Amino acid sequence: MNFDLLWSIAQTFATTALVSVGGISTMIPEIHRQAVEIYGWMTDAQFASSFAISQVAPGPNVLLMSLVGWRVAGFAGMMVATLSTIIPTSIICLVAARLENQLTHAKWYSVTRKSLPPLIVGLIFSSGVVTARAAVQDAVGVLIVMGVGIYFFLTKSNPLVSIFASIVVGVVAGRLGLL
Amino acid sequence: MNDQISGGAQPCLSPQPHGVTLWNLFTGFVLVGLFGFGGIAAALFHVAVERRKWITSDEYTSCLALGQVLPGASLMNMTTIVADRFQGIKGVVLALIGLFTFPLLILLGLIATYDHYAYLPDVQNATNAAAAAAVGLTFGTGLKLAKVIIKSKTSLAFTVLAFVSIGLLKLPLLQTILVLTALAIWVGYKEDKS
């Protein structure tokens, strides 16, 4: 087993999780930068297919990180990526949740809670752009991104509906020779 | 995917929890993992609020808001907060095991199937389309949040700053977030005073 590789995976995922506010989607640009551009662990195409598979599988969005770990170093990589994404941040969360009753009276706490959300929105759009660069290759892809984006913005529909409808569109477009 | 980030600052769970056993927590989170497609936000709401009645829907919203401003996956933070409330650290560990075991097994099955059939054009097209849909969902979620959160020129400025530096210029997240967070809090203080 390659412990140096596993250690790099642990460091990359733990550090990225610790500085990501707003959830898994804000981690995606940094994980892409590290895994594809800095370490060369995987190609853009492999990153894109991992992203797609993790969205189709049931379970937390953290599964994308599990899958990147699997692609890099098999089962051990998957476990290391998953655990280093969730354990350090869960510990911080545990402490914060237990202190929250005292924190709510502190000024800096309420200022922080009001100040962070706009940054989170910017990070989520960043995640969209980075995954689009890796995953969208043709006009049908662009149409799916725009269609799903607008539909999901305007309705309260389940994400899975959009994903399966898009799969049908993609397969049919391929059969018709549009791709 | 996430729907709510609120700026209010009340403790997110009422101080006196009713009893939820370890087994009840574990099986509940097994269900959340299996029901959660495209993230577990909706599944957690369904199980924790509607089926098992562990928490109220107001508690759900304010817990999610706390989970989102803390570092890491918001729904993992929320799992931690909810499980800790009823069964402490033991509960958190069991909840996470319950949440991940089946989805990871299903994921391994999906990867094996994908790798076996990836050469088929239909499978490639389906995967590309699913990835494009997931990108669309990310933008849709961003728009939903922007509608709630961007209420002033300041908030718009910080959204644009974060987007340009991470999304377009691809700056390293660690340094960028530290600088932008400090800046956002400093501006927040100034606005609070005036």
The residues spanned by each domain of chain B are 1-117, 120-149, 151-194
Query: Using one digit for the tens of pLDDT, what is the confidence trace for B51-100?
Result: 999 998 888 888 887 888 889 998 999 999 999 989 999 999 999 999 99
d(CA A119, CA A122): 5
Coil, helix or strand at residue B149:
helix
Question: Is A33 contained in some domain?
Answer: yes
Cβ–Cβ of B68/A167 closer than 8 Å?
A: no
| Contact in structure between B44 and B94 (CB atoms under 8 Å) | no
Q: Among A44-48, A86-90, B26-30, where is mean pLDDT lowest?
A: A44-48
Question: Residue B23 corresponds to which tokens in the numbers above?
Answer: 């087994």
| HSE-up (13 A, CA, CB side) for residue B167 | 23
Shortest Cα distance, chain B CAs vs residue A39, angstroms: 14
- Please provide residue A30's backbone torsions phi and psi, each rounded to the nearest 5 degrees: -70, -40
The total number of structural domains in chain A stands at 1
Largest CA distance in chain A: 62
Q: What mean pLDDT, rounded, does chain A reach?
A: 91
Residue B6 has pLDDT above 70, yes or no: no
Q: Is B97 on the interface with A (CB under 8 A)?
A: no
The one-letter code for the residue type at B179 is V
- Domain region containing A98: 3-114
Largest CA distance in chain B: 62
d(CA A134, CA B102): 28
The one-letter code for the residue type at B75 is L
Question: Is A83 contained in some domain?
Answer: yes
Instruction: State the CB neighbour count (10 A cutoff) for residue B130.
Output: 26
Coil, helix or strand at residue B37:
strand
Residue in chain A closest to B107 (alpha carbons) equals A57
d(CA A125, CA B55): 31
Of A23, A89, A145, the CB nearest to B68: A23
Output the pLDDT for position A111. 84
The pLDDT confidence band at residue B16, using thresholds 50, 70 and 90, is low
Output the pLDDT for position B87. 92
Whether ipTM tops 0.90, in short, is no
Helix B173-193 with B153-162: angle, nearest 10 deg: 170
Residue B8 has pLDDT above 50, yes or no: no
Output the CA angle B166-B172-B177, nearest 5 degrees: 70
Q: What is the mean pLDDT of residues B2-28?
A: 68
Question: Is A171 contained in some domain?
Answer: no
- Please provide residue A19's backbone torsions phi and psi, each rounded to the nearest 5 degrees: -105, 5
Instruction: State the CB neighbour count (10 A cutoff) for residue B146.
Output: 19
Output the pLDDT for position B1. 40
Which of A12, A56, A82, A98 would you mutate first to test chain B, the one with the most B CBs within 10 A?
A: A56
Of residues B151, B61, B124, the one with CA closest to residue A141: B124
Cβ–Cβ of A121/B177 closer than 8 Å?
A: no
Q: What is the mean pLDDT of residues B18-22?
A: 84
Kindly calculate the radius of gyration of chain B based on its CA atoms and give it in whole angstroms: 20
d(CA A90, CA A110): 21
Chain B residues whose CB is inside 8 A of the A175 CB are 122
Coil, helix or strand at residue B60:
helix
Output the CA angle B141-A158-B8, nearest 5 degrees: 45
Query: Using one digit for the tens of pLDDT, what is the confidence trace for B137-189?
Result: 889 989 988 998 898 999 999 999 999 999 999 898 888 988 999 999 999 98
Query: Using one digit for the tens of pLDDT, what is the confidence trace for A103-130?
Result: 777 887 788 878 888 998 898 899 899 8
Output the pLDDT for position A97. 87
Query: Using one digit for the tens of pLDDT, what is the confidence trace for A91-106?
Result: 999 998 888 877 777 8
Output the pLDDT for position B67. 87
- Please provide residue B172's backbone torsions phi and psi, each rounded to the nearest 5 degrees: -65, 135
Residue in chain A closest to B176 (alpha carbons) equals A19
Of residues A167, A129, A116, A146, the one with CA closest to residue B184: A116
